[in-house]
Structure 1
């Protein structure tokens, strides 16, 4: 479903150019959930944004469902295949647009018909129900806003969802609900996920394999089973796993 080879992403121009991603490569099979982990600034979200077409200063090869992706803006067919869910549901929804307006716009942009029926189905899919259709973002909790953002991404009926820390801005009590929703949607719709997270427990719950990033480079690709066993090959990965285990009394 996704192939990334020799990906380099940069910002600015010499001598102030910043190389955010350096020679990254990985593949994601159809139906797989693949994680990108690493400390802040390691380049995880930058890779997602390059795939989604939100950054055009990159080189290398990105291929989605067998089709090469260009650096410039994608066409409608691309966005019918790939959608992104952002980290902050407070920022990703327009404060003056109702849920109905958000979903209607997404459906119309994808050339969908039967808008009313599709909106009702999308709201049901994300566990909101039709009573939320004409509410505004300020009338929703953080978890409800993220459910709307997920519904908006599903409006295009994509095959690949890019998830940029989709629960990190939410209360701990709500995070598990959203993660379980995403797991259910993946199974129900046969979706492929690429998920960015700084939380190894989240990746261990959601993903099949993961890539560990350090300073813009992928230093290791491993299975979730290896992650759970602590069977890392690289020192940095072992340090990351140890740090995620939290404080241990001496």
Structure 2
């Protein structure tokens, strides 16, 4: 579903150029959930943004469902296949747009028909009733806002979801609900996930495999089972696991 080969991403120009991602390569199979982990500034979210077309200063090869993408240009077909859920549900929804307006716009942009019924179905898919349809973001909790953001991403009926720390801005009590929702949606809609998280316990629970990043480079790709066992090949990986607050190997 996704192939990233020798991806380099940079910002600025010499002598102030910053190389955020360096020669990153990995592949994600259809239906797989793949994680990107590492310390802040390691390049995890930058990779997602390059895939999504939000950054145009990159080189290498990105293929989605066997089709190469270039630069920052993405066509409607791309966004029918790939959608992104951002970290902060407070920032990703327009404060003056109701839930209905948010979903209506997403469906219209994708050329969908029968919009009224689709909005109802999207709200049901993410565990929100039709009573939420005409509410505004300020009338929603953080978890409810993120459910709306997920519904907006699902409006295009994508096959690949890019998840950029989708629960880190939420209260701990709500995080598990959103993670369980994402797991259920993946099974129900046969979705492929690429998930960025700093929480190794979340990645161990949600992902099949993961890439460990440091200073813009992928150090190793490992299975979630190896993560749970603390069996990293690199010293950095083992130290990262050991330093994870609240992480359990059970």
Is this a same-fold pair by TM over 0.5?
A: yes
Counterpart residue number, 2:187: 187
Task: Spell out, residue by residue over 1:162-206, the C-alpha distance to the aligned partner (whole angstroms, 9 max, x if none).
Answer: 000000000000000000000000000000000000000000010
Residue 9 to residue 247, structure 1, CA distance change in 2 (3 Å): closer
Measured after TM superposition, the shift of residue 245 of structure 1 is: 4.7
Counterpart residue number, 2:127: 127
- The correspondence of residues 124-163 of structure 1 with structure 2, limited to 5 A, is 124-163=124-163
Task: Spell out, residue by residue over 1:119-171, the C-alpha distance to the aligned partner (whole angstroms, 9 max, x if none).
Answer: 00000000001000000000000000000000000000000000000000000
1:92 counterpart SS class: coil
Whole-angstrom CA distance in 1 between matches of 2:73 and 2:164: 20
Contact in 1 for aligned 2:3/2:28 (Cα 8 Å): yes
Counterpart residue number, 1:4: 4
Q: What RMSD over aligned residues (CA atoms) do the two structures have, in Å? A: 1.1
Residue 247 to residue 32, structure 1, CA distance change in 2 (3 Å): closer
Measured after TM superposition, the shift of residue 247 of structure 1 is: 9.6
Counterpart residue number, 1:95: 95
1:147 counterpart SS class: helix
- Indicate whether 1:39 and 2:57 are aligned: no
Whole-angstrom CA distance in 2 between matches of 1:224 and 1:205: 8
Whole-angstrom CA distance in 1 between matches of 2:162 and 2:247: 31
Whole-angstrom CA distance in 2 between matches of 1:28 and 1:234: 22
Structure 2 gaps, min length 5: none
Counterpart residue number, 1:55: 55
- The correspondence of residues 163-182 of structure 1 with structure 2, limited to 5 A, is 163-182=163-182
Counterpart residue number, 2:17: 17
2:102 counterpart SS class: helix
1:102 counterpart SS class: helix
Structure 1 gaps, min length 5: none
Query: What TM-score, normalized to structure 1?
Result: 0.98
Task: Spell out, residue by residue over 1:72-117, the C-alpha distance to the aligned partner (whole angstroms, 9 max, x if none).
Answer: 2200000000000000000000000000000000000000010000
Whole-angstrom CA distance in 2 between matches of 1:166 and 1:242: 23
Measured after TM superposition, the shift of residue 71 of structure 1 is: 1.1
Counterpart residue number, 1:66: 66
Residue 130 to residue 218, structure 1, CA distance change in 2 (3 Å): same
Task: Spell out, residue by residue over 1:210-247, the C-alpha distance to the aligned partner (whole angstroms, 9 max, x if none).
Answer: 00000000001000010011111000000000001559
- Indicate whether 1:84 and 2:84 are aligned: yes
Query: What TM-score, normalized to structure 2?
Result: 0.98
- Indicate whether 1:30 and 2:30 are aligned: yes
Whole-angstrom CA distance in 2 between matches of 1:69 and 1:3: 11
